[in-house]
Structure 1
Amino acid sequence: MIMLQLFSTFENNAFLELAISTLEKKGINRENIFVVPLDNRKESRKLFDTLHRSDGTSLIDIGLAIATAFSVIGASIGFELAWGPIYWGLIGAFVGFVVGVVIRLFTEIILKKKKRRLQGKHSEIILIVDCKDGLAEFVENVLWNHYALGVAKVVSDEAKSK
């Protein structure tokens, strides 16, 4: 008989307890159910990227777009001003870049921080169930019906060696 391990993640709530009790009622021994609590991140995420780590968020994308627009406007108006179109185009580009970076910093620090705090769905518990191949489908359905955040099946090493 092939032995499987089912891994699933849950939030820490009553549905996890209900899933475990349902599995025990079906005949899966307590020794074959393993529950591991996870430690959640306590430190906040870093805003600026390093050479070795990047979160995919760019702080200069809006700055470059606004700098382009402001430089075109500055150069157009600069034909009638004292310093000429080149200086006013450069001034417009600099001001637009600074405005864009400030807008992006505001959205990252203020708005997205609130959004990250409100999202709430964090994996807090890992549940590992050892079962025979015939019960795997039932165990997987029980886990999904009790609101598992994710489920994976792995064939046990005992079955691979035979």
Structure 2
Amino acid sequence: MFMIAAFDHSIYLESALSLLEKNGINDQNILAVPLENRDCQNRLFDTIHHSDGTSLFDLGAALATALAVIGASIGFQLKWGPIIWGLIGAATGFTIGLIIDILMTRKKEKGAQKNNTEVILIICCQNHEETTVEKILWENQALRVGKLNV
């Protein structure tokens, strides 16, 4: 049986490894794989072949619509008329929305880069050791635990 667990790289990982070895799991039956963070930055605009799920168009379109309606309404009383002021409102709203989305996306990227590296543990154990191993993993702050019967 294989027990698979995900840990943040911390003292809890070291504690779990030492407890597993004290409970009879041989160190040759434990595989620890550190995962690295992504080095390249996300693109600002999606293409037909690549999409990261972040849309910079949504907030801009919503603000453009809102400010276009407001600009057209107020434009009836202003010199240039409702069409010009509606277009000015749409351009202003889209620009403001785009700037907000770009700033929020960059803030999320900086926050994601500060995360600790995760480590995946793969432990080969006997069926009678399953509950002990699982208990040790959960008590030492495992993020996720899975079982694979072979």
Using structure 1 for the length normalisation, give the TM-score. 0.81
Is contact 2:37-2:113 (8 Å) kept? no
Q: Distance in 1 between matches of 2:116 and 2:34?
A: 15
Aligned to 2:102: 105
Aligned counterparts of 2:18 and 2:70: Cα–Cα separation in 1: 68
1:116 to 112, 116, 120: 112
CA deviations on 1:113-151 (whole Å, 9 max, x unpaired) are 443344x2441x221111111111110110111111211
The count of corresponding residues between Structure 1 and Structure 2 is 150
Per the alignment, residue 142 of structure 2 pairs with 148
Distance 1:30 1:102, change over 3 A: closer
Paired position in structure 2 for 1:159: none
Q: 1:72 aligns with which of 69, 73, 79?
A: 69
Report the AA paired with residue 19 of structure 2.
T
Percent identical residues: 48
- Classify 1:131/1:90 alpha carbon distance in 2 versus 1 (closer, same or farther; 3 Å): same
Counterparts in 2 of 1:12-161, with a 5 A limit? 12-109=9-106, 111-118=107-114, 120-123=115-118, 125-156=119-150
- 1:55-97 deviation line (CA, Å, top 9, x unaligned): 2221122211211121112111221233321222122212211
SS at match of 1:8: strand
SS of residue in 2 equivalent to 1:36: strand
Q: Structure 2: which 5+ runs fail to align? A: none
Structure 1 stretches lacking a partner, 5+ long: 157-162
> Do the aligned partners of residues 114 and 32 (structure 1) sit closer, same or farther apart at CA in structure 2, a change above 3 Å counting?
closer
Distance (Å, rounded) in 2 between the aligned partners of 1:104 and 1:55: 14
2:87 partner amino acid:
L
What is the DSSP-based 3-state SS (H/G/I as helix, E as strand, rest coil) of the residue aligned with 2:135? helix
Q: TM-score w.r.t. structure 2 length? A: 0.86
Once residues 13 and 72 of structure 2 are traced to their aligned partners in structure 1, the CA distance between those partners, rounded to angstroms, is 64
Structure 1 position 31, deviation (Å): 2.1
Q: Is contact 2:3-2:146 (8 Å) kept? A: yes
Root-mean-square deviation (CA), in Å?
Answer: 1.9
